[in-house]
Structure 1
Amino acid sequence: MDKRPSAVTRAVTAHVSALQGPPLPLPAELHYEITDPYAVRISLGASIGPLVTWVFARELLAQGLRRPTGIGDVVVIPKYCHHSHTIRIVLRNSSGVALVEMGATEVAAFVQQSFDVVPAGAERDHLNLDDLITALVGRSGDSTSHRSDEHLA
């Protein structure tokens, strides 16, 4: 019997900066679930206020470990300097831009664990379209179901 986990979560320290000001170290969490097989989540700032969660493509994060990837709201860029390897995630919304920097080794381990749960190319095997359609139809008239702290990119 296959006992693969259905989710992967990794706590990391992120260094977050806006366009002005020095980077601020914040607790962050990377999360992947089999029920949303194409997406990863990064949650930032639990210790200083409301948790802010961004949702974007797992493939974007995986490719961003090797080369600059993405356009629009989320861009992932590997960075090599002084023998340290980090990954930068640029997050944009109508309020502004934030730069999130994390250790690439931690991010790569998280990405690999997510591919252990759902291999690349097998994502569609884990989609439950009936539940997705029900959720979308059910939410169309419910203005309270939108989460303002979750950003889709």
Structure 2
Amino acid sequence: MDGAFTYRRERPYELAVDFRGGGTHLARWVFSRDLLLDGQTCVTGEGDIQVWPRWQGGEPRVFLAFTNGAESCVVSARAKDVRALCRRLVALVPRSEERRYYDLDAELSTLLPR
């Protein structure tokens, strides 16, 4: 199984990961990019997605656990690759600057009755 992350500046709060196996798209998970940013150094997330680092043993890794209630999956990536990805995410949209790229208030006003 392979996984590929997607991040878009116009949706700065979210990060997506697509899983493929045997030439088939298996699943897509969309979650807060903060889970990955914070999960490099401590356990984070609850419910459907959890992220945590592991330094014991050989090469340091970051683990991601996904569940939908019926099925679950745990994957890991080399910590240095996750750090590189996180550096790129923050270079595109610095932490606490997300609102410059996405107007949450305007988006909410389209959903709420006037």
TM value normalised by structure 2 = 0.85
- Structure 1 residues 130, 62: closer, same or farther in 2, change over 3 A? closer
Task: Report what 2:49 is aligned to.
Answer: 74
Verify the 8 A CA contact 1:27 1:47 in the aligned structure 2: no
Task: Report what 2:77 is aligned to.
Answer: 102
Residues 2-151 of structure 1 aligned to structure 2 (within 5 Å): 26-128=1-103, 132=107
Partner secondary structure for residue 60 of structure 1: helix
Percentage of identical aligned residues:
26
Alpha-carbon offset, residue 91 of structure 1? 0.6
- The structure showing larger relative contact order (alpha-carbon pairs under 8 Å, at least 6 residues apart) is 1
Q: Aligned partner of 2:3: which letter?
A: A
TM value normalised by structure 1 = 0.65
Q: What is the root-mean-square deviation of aligned Cα atoms in Å?
A: 2.3
For structure 1, the 5+ residue unaligned runs are 1-25, 138-153
How many residues align structurally? 112
Alpha-carbon offset, residue 46 of structure 1? 4.8
Which one has a bigger Cα radius of gyration? 1
- Structure 1 residues 71, 130: closer, same or farther in 2, change over 3 A? closer
Verify the 8 A CA contact 2:18 2:25 in the aligned structure 1: no
Task: Report what 1:150 is aligned to.
Answer: none
Alpha-carbon offset, residue 131 of structure 1? 8.1
Verify the 8 A CA contact 1:74 1:89 in the aligned structure 2: yes
For structure 2, the 5+ residue unaligned runs are none
Alpha-carbon offset, residue 44 of structure 1? 0.8
